[in-house]
Amino acid sequence: MAQKILTNEYKALSNETWTNISLVNDNIFHWSVALIVLNPDSLYYGGYFKARMTFPANYPYSPPKFQFDHPLWHPNIYDDGRLCISILHPPGEDAMSGEMAGERWSPVQRVETVLISVLSLLDDAECSSPANVDAGVMLRNDPVAYKARVAQDREKSKQDIPAGFEMPTHESAFQVPAKHDDFSWSDSEEEADFDEGSSDEEMFDAGEATDNDEDED
């Protein structure tokens, strides 16, 4: 069951612009994942952040593991690239951490949920119990220096962009489809009766009149 679920999730995420995924050695339980930040207001905008995800044999009943290839300077990222994030913790409440069951992993979660949570975490750090204490202190006491340090990670991450891969932008990812200017109404009675300025009441009256004419015939 795990293999079938992961295969379906992999196919769906392959069409997304904010991530670039591939299988490691064609193993559906081991993914190479790149997160692409499309929010222009983010400190991480324009970065290409590679990571690895490994899935247990009983997925989705147990959470996957997520680890950045290159650790980022962030209060909730360990020196080895692992994350301190509730959604990757085993199901159930944890009295020690104070995490509620709804904050942790559950079988209804999916890979997309995890990746979106990671993206959210990047710009919404939890500094009360940091995995990287120094990063947490810097964010709190010297945000300018923290921003500069993040910029270094962001620029360094661009070295991992694959040759020939076109990085999406905020504009390209959320581009509104162009209107079809060549579309026009045909010259008919319906166009006159139901023009753009007609009220709901007028439209109803016109429809009722048409029905009555048909009945008389």
CB 122 within 8 Å of CB 111: no
Q: Which two tokens stand for residue 94?
A: 């944890």
127 catalytically annotated: no
Report the DSSP pairing between strands 27-36 and 48-54. antiparallel
Selected catalytic residue, list 13, 77, 83, 84: 84
Residue 2: closest CA among 59, 45, 87: 59
Question: Is the sign of the CA dihedral 133, 135, 136, 142 positive or negative?
Answer: positive
Cα radius of gyration (the chain): 26
CB 18 within 8 Å of CB 120: no
What residues contact residue 141 under an 8 Å CB cut-off, 6+ apart? none
d(CA 134, CA 123): 17
Q: Where are the beta strands (DSSP E) in the chain?
A: 19-24, 27-36, 48-54, 65-68
Catalytically active residues, by annotation: 84
